A and B are shown apart, each in its own frame.
Chain A
């Protein structure tokens, strides 16, 4: 097991390097990279200063070295708009996004698992059809569309919730629902399929013959064995959660990382975008690493793959 973990950690570090390289390559893709790091009102002198800082007069490998070493020192550049270190600007926004994603994930898991189980036990019934249709709809609507629809119905027309902003629970409800919809649907479908397969197995029949309460059969035996596809999904889910959170934050004006990325894109604040890409991607690499290890711990067969 330890060898597996070590192997995976080494792989993760390699991928991190790759990430840095890709970002670096992208910055050198068009014209003068120095232009990206200064504001649109920069003078010729400002640009020349930035060129010096980036070491553009030096050979490319040396530039790469400068790039990596400044990242490792925690220097992610200066936000052009905020005129503060980009890293600082980024970290300020993390709590808001964490709240949103956390709550959305909770909703998706709670209702997704519930829906999946219900649809599987009551297969063919009205509840099954209802869950399936809802799941299909949920996976067909991009998160920002759900966000806009929810905003229109509940904020504009019914005035039940505020349209935008950050405050108490009231501001969190609509964005969280919008963000969770896709994953709720996916989880429900995954679990339903997996449970249907499990429920047909012999050991379930044995459990019932033994006289175990139906609740025990379902939750203790069937669910535990069906949960694997959902756990596997956590990896791609976290990537898509980032995408979704971005759009939802923009629609609801939620002051998180997503909204920051959007403002940085439209405001051409490249250092902030670079910081966002690097840190978010790095986080996802670690999440995937963690999921891989968890997966191997649960299912020993994976370790020898």
Chain B
């Protein structure tokens, strides 16, 4: 896997995203929020009328698109990864607790999971946007609410699978506390599915966040975000298509990258699939 070209490309892209998102203040040529009203709707440098001052062109109010894209990696990449971490922690914990303790606790948590998965979270986001106004915290909350259930379900499944194993019985007999069993014995067994699910979900998170921003219920328009820029450029698709198209390509590349990585990781780490591939 480590030598597979898809994987290498993926790692390179992630490294680039990391550098861009952390180093945005230093790498970005302009302040993305700065309006340059005399330089509105300029095309990218490779088109007629473009200039190297604004390599990817400018938007309807003169903001530099390249700077917006660079700063936008913070929401589309860094924030997505952070939210995945949080949802994974919460979801996995609840899933393990639910699977291990069983009974009432299990029923309550699983009903919550079912409810969450059946609820179109995008509508929740819209409602909150009207009640509270778009804010990064609100979007983050909605996305975590959207994601935790999938991890909980997976963790519960894995817990149930491992629960009746001999080594768990041994630990119980030795008097290990429930908490310690869950943390030290059950949890390590699901590292693989967590990694795979987490990687695949980064793509989903980025998709969901950009959709929300596009609809005006996500990242506020005062914060650089790719979904926002696509929304700004929609009215100018004929005259200045690059405003919407460039961030669209950016989203596509990032999600594609994480989906590919997730797939490769799945093939590599999941023993069933690995043997099938070996068998040809």
Chain A residues closer than 8 Å to B132, beta-carbon distance: 29-30
Inside 8 A of A36's CB, which chain B residues have their CB? 130-131
Q: In whole angstroms, how far apart are the Cα atoms of A285 and B114 in the complex? A: 10
Q: Which A residues are CB-close (under 8 A) to B185?
A: none
Q: 8 Å CB contacts to A: which residues of B205-242? A: 207-208, 210-211, 214-217, 230, 234, 237-238, 241
- Shortest distance in angstroms between B263's beta carbon and chain A's nearest beta carbon? 8
A91 in the interface, Cβ–Cβ < 8 Å?
no
B126 at the interface (CB under 8 A from A): yes
B47 within 8 A of A: no
Complex Cα–Cα for A247 and B218 (A): 13
The SS class assigned to the A binding surface is helix
Question: In the bound complex, do residue B124 and residue A265 qualify as a contact, i.e. CB atoms below 8 Å apart?
Answer: no
A53-61, A110-118, A236-244: which lies at the interface: A236-244
Interface size on B, residues (CB 8 A): 42
Question: Which of these binds chain A: B22-30, B97-105, B251-259?
Answer: B251-259
Of chain B, the residue at the smallest CB distance from A281 is B119
Enumerate chain B residues within 8 angstroms of A265, measured Cβ to Cβ: 126, 129-130, 215-217
> Please, which residues of chain A bring their CB within 8 A of the CB of B216?
262, 265-266
- Whether A136 contacts B127 by the Cβ 8 Å rule is no
Q: A137 in the interface, Cβ–Cβ < 8 Å?
A: yes
Flag if B119 contacts A26 (CB, 8 Å): no
Interface residues on A, range: 35 or more
Q: Decide yes or no: A152 and B237 within 8 Å by CB, A142-B251, A145-B248, A281-B119 being known contacts.
A: yes
Assuming the contacts A156-B238, A273-B127, A284-B118, asked whether A262 and B215 have C-beta atoms less than 8 A apart, the reply is: yes
Judge whether A144 and B252 touch: CB under 8 Å: no
Bound CA span A151–B123, Å: 25
Q: CB-CB < 8 A to B237: which residues of A?
A: 148, 151-152, 156, 163
- Interface flags, B93-134, vs A, CB<8A=1, else 0: 000000000000000000100110111111110111111100
B72 at the interface (CB under 8 A from A): no
